[in-house]
Amino acid sequence: MSRTVIVGDVHGCCAELQELLARVGFSDDDHLYFVGDLVGRGPDTLGVLALAQQLGAVAVRGNHEQKLLSFVQSQREGGPLVRLGPGHLQLVHSLSEQDWAWLEAMPLWHDLPEHDLRIVHAGVKPGVPIEATDTGILLTIRAITQRGQASITRGGEPWARWYHGPPHIVFGHNALMHPQLHPWATGIDLGCVYGGFLAALVLGPGQTIPSIEERQELLVSVSARRAYYPVRKNYGR
């Protein structure tokens, strides 16, 4: 029976991704998805992209993929170049044409009707149809302020606390050392690149997301081999 395996932010941590897939017993019958941010910061982005493509994975676009794509677009159009750090600049010159094509084909969200869920990198603004939501919000939102505005910081309440589906949303981006379990949303970025964990949500055929109390049993994780990138402020809370 085929399962659905949804993996959190990998950020170039290829060894941990391989270990995670081995731990869940990933097989050719299973379907693999990523919440975005496969690239950058970690040691082996090229290996991650090669493995994801080899396994026929579907990945939604993260803000780090968007940075690379925006840089290349600005190059093509002759406009002001998007600012990139040294690691991302190196990737610009290292990715193959096949890699670029795969990144460009990444959707901003992906629906899995079988499980009544939606995969989005960062999240949504509650009450706003996703089709009408600004791309920047989908890629970077973390919270809702007291004035009801989307925030890229944690100044306010987590957006997922105010989201009432359906569908259930599985997201990444906002790295914590523990999964974020809300009635209608599940966050699975456990900060592998910061020395935390790489996590996957594993669903059986036709299985929908259960209650918060039961959901932990569907999560599988492996420890990072080391911290590859300086720990982000507030990581661990």
Write down the domain spans for the chain: 4-223
Q: Which two tokens stand for residue 192?
A: 């592998």
Other beta carbons less than 10 A from residue 195's beta carbon:
17
Tell me the whole-structure pTM to 2 decimals: 0.96
Torsion angle, CA of 51/179/158/191, rounded to 10 degrees?
Answer: -50
Tokens of 30: 């299973």
DSSP characters for 35-47?
A: -S--SSSSS-HHH
Taking the CA atoms of residue 32, residue 37, residue 38 and residue 43 in that order, the dihedral angle to the nearest 10 degrees is -150
Note down pLDDT in tens along the chain; length 237 residues. 899 999 999 999 999 999 999 999 999 999 999 999 999 999 999 999 999 999 999 999 999 999 999 999 988 877 777 789 899 999 999 999 999 999 999 999 999 999 999 999 999 999 999 999 999 999 999 999 888 788 888 778 999 999 999 999 999 999 999 999 999 999 999 999 999 999 999 999 999 999 999 999 999 999 999 999 998 766 665
Highest CATH level, class, for 4-223? alpha beta
